[in-house]
């Protein structure tokens, strides 16, 4: 995992956006991928998709459905990274929203 650099923080504070690469270990990516695949196979109650476009899937509040998503939102390195970028002692998790758009999907997003 790459830590934040002073340049990353300065870029975020100046531009309001920064591209951070390699901030999650592969284990996080695998766990999230498995949870997302499970949600596509068995969508939760907040699921939606665009009619006629099997390549688009959306859902909300999946942190409540999958341990991997809850851990990603609350226990991964991301909350600490966000706090550092925002120069804050803490951050508050408010909401999650999953968007999956497969290659060839025709829906406009």
Provide mean pLDDT across the span 8-27.
95
pLDDT digits (tens, 9 = 90+) for 66-87: 999 999 999 999 999 999 999 9
DSSP assignment string, the chain? -PPPPHHHHHHHHHHS-----S-S-HHHHHHHHHHHHHHHHS--TT-B--TT-TTEEEEE-GGGT-HHHHHHHHHSSHHHHHHHHHT-S-------EEEEE-TT-----
Does residue 19 register a pLDDT over 90?
Answer: yes
Provide mean pLDDT across the span 40-49.
84
Q: Taking the domains of the chain in order of start, what are their residue ranges?
A: 25-101
CA distances from 108 to 35, 49, 50 (A): 24, 12, 9
Does residue 52 register a pLDDT over 80?
Answer: no
Residue bearing the bigger pLDDT, 56 or 73: 73
Predicted model pTM: 0.81
């Amino acid at each position: 995992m790459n830590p934040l650099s002073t340049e990353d923080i300065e870029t975020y504070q100046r531009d309001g956006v920064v591209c951070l690469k390699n901030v999650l270990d592969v284990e996080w990516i695998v766990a999230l991928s498995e949870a997302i695949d499970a949600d596509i196979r068995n969508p939760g109650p907040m699921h939606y998709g665009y009619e006629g476009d099997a390549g688009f899937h959306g859902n909300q509040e999946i942190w409540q459905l999958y341990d991997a998503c809850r851990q990603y939102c609350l226990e991964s390195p991301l909350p600490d990274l966000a706090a550092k970028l925002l120069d804050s002692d803490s951050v508050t998790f408010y909401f999650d929203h999953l968007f999956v758009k497969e290659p060839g999907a025709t829906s406009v997003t």
